[in-house]
Amino acid sequence: MSYRCVILQIGVRVSDNLPIPDDWHIDPVLLGIPGLRGGFDWRARALCAQADPESFFPEKGGSTREAKKVCSSCAVRSECLEYALENDERYGIWGGTSERERRILRQRRAASGLA
3-state secondary structure of 38: coil
Q: Are the beta carbons of 47 and 96 closer than 8 angstroms?
A: no
- How far is the CA of 93 from the CAs of 8, 35, 52, in angstroms? 30, 20, 12
Query: Does the annotation flag 80 for ligand binding?
Result: yes
Q: Are the beta carbons of 58 and 64 closer than 8 angstroms?
A: yes
Query: Does the annotation flag 5 for ligand binding?
Result: no
Query: Which distant-in-sequence residues (6+ apart) come within 8 Å of 84 by Cβ?
Result: 94, 95, 97, 102
Instruction: Dump pLDDT digits (tens) for 99-113.
Output: 999 999 999 988 987
Instruction: Dump pLDDT digits (tens) for 7-46.
Output: 444 555 555 556 666 655 565 555 655 555 555 578 888 9
Is pTM, for the whole model, over 0.85? no
